[in-house]
Copies of this chain bind each other. A is one copy, B any other.
């Protein structure tokens, strides 16, 4: 059968991995897909780099290199456009133009989909083309396929994932080596796990993009990144890592989507999780997503969440899917966001004040009698009950008090903190972290 022809927009880290794996595994992939999948045009503003990556042999057999990624949409020799440019501007133009031209699209761009997914999927739906994005969440782990297809019999109750490798690497180093955040970040940067400007990762924005997509896939709700509650890991102190450890927990940056009666929770933040939970064993730059379905119970998907070839693996899975499905009538394809577009429910993400979890509170307090009583009274007023309490031996008149609460609404904890804030015994602002038992 004749080859499926791919136009590749952007041949950076992932793009060059895609080129390499498609070439290396050409036979294996064709044996699965039923026909070859070939990149026929590479578009990259750095034409020279693109030529160097694909090599003389490819150029000689007619693979074209162009500087203008916008040229792909109009190219009559392309069946699928793969968008690996990143960002929201040019990438959006390229994707929408490809759709308008009736081409299928494969993208790894979570930022684009979290911000403009509604518009993009609606355009694809109207045009009868597919936009596949397995590589956008958790790199090489086929989590989108699992949620969209493998767990289709379930009412998904929640999804919780370690979906940013950079922050997981940093937190693992802080825990295992006793480093500060700044030290661990510097190490991550020197090893290539964090970028020179690490903001998107360490502030939780990248994880927020991914969690937003997971929520839509899990619950059949609109994409709503702007309603996600997002906190990064920059304020995690090594003392919190140590206290968590002594209480039987590890701190992980989790993306959480949880179904509730009134809507759903959508939040990304550092989270204490029990050490004996499988998710707590996910170390270094690895990713893992835990899904709770009403029928299946908990299933976990683990693997490399980034990197050249792992991400390329997901892009190729999409290319094979599109190849297999492109002759099907659009009504019978897998819907972009797992649920049929007309069946998406207009539920909104709840404000963080209405989200429920257990809490870790660390308070630096004056070492004098009655402090604990005052704190306990404020907790009681808000009907928050204490699950565990640790106090470190006072030094220079100050004590570190760590409380774990049972589950409650976040506004209750915030009311407690607000009530305590002006008290003279409080020497530093209260540190608040969330605790999830994932049971």
| Residues on A facing B (Cβ under 8 Å) | 17, 21-22, 24-25, 28-34, 134, 140-142, 145-146, 148-155, 220, 278, 281-282, 293-304, 309-310, 312-317, 319-321, 324-329, 331-335, 338-340, 343
Do A303 and B297 contact each other (CB < 8 Å), given the known contacts A25-B154, A149-B145, A327-B332? yes
Cβ contact within 8 Å between B293 and A313 = yes
- CB-CB under 8 A from A328, the residues of chain B are 325, 327-329, 332
Determine the distance from Cα of A272 to Cα of B154 in the docked complex, in whole angstroms.
35
A282 to B335 Cα, complex, angstroms: 33
The answer on a CB contact under 8 Å between B324 and A334 is: yes
Known: A281-B278, A300-B302, A303-B299. A151 touches B28 (CB 8 A): no
Chain B residue at minimal CB-CB distance from A277: B281
Contact call B338/A149, Cβ cutoff below 8 A = no
A310:B339 contact, CB within 8 angstroms:
no
Q: With A and B bound together, what is the CA distance between A297 and B294 in angstroms?
A: 30
Q: Please state the number of chain copies in the assembly.
A: 2
Chain B CB within 10 Å, residue with most, of A313, A325, A331, A338: A313
A146 cross-chain contacts in B, Cβ below 8 A: 142, 145-146, 150
* Closest chain B residue, CB of each to CB of A142: B150
B317→A325 contact, CB < 8 A:
no
- Measured in the bound complex, the distance between the Cα atoms of B297 and A310 in whole Å is 7
Name the CB-closest residue of B to A143.
B150
| A296 close to B313 (CB less than 8 A) | yes
- CB atoms of A153 and B220 under 8 A apart: no
Residues of B within 8 A of A142 (CB): 145-146, 149-151, 299
Q: With A17-B295, A301-B299 given, is the CB distance from A149 to B310 under 8 Å? A: no
13 sampled A-B residue pairs with Cβ under 8 A = A24-B155, A25-B154, A28-B220, A29-B152, A32-B148, A32-B339, A33-B152, A140-B295, A153-B313, A294-B309, A295-B316, A301-B302, A324-B333
Tell me which residues across on chain B come within 8 A of A317, comparing CB atoms.
Answer: 149-153
Name A154's contact: one of B278, B313, B333 (CB within 8 Å): B313
Given the interface pairs A152-B316, A317-B153, A320-B152, the reply to whether A296 lies near B303 with Cβ below 8 Å is yes
Q: A296-B313, A325-B328 are in contact. List 8 more A-B contacts (CB 8 A).
A: A21-B295, A31-B340, A34-B332, A142-B151, A298-B303, A301-B301, A324-B334, A327-B332
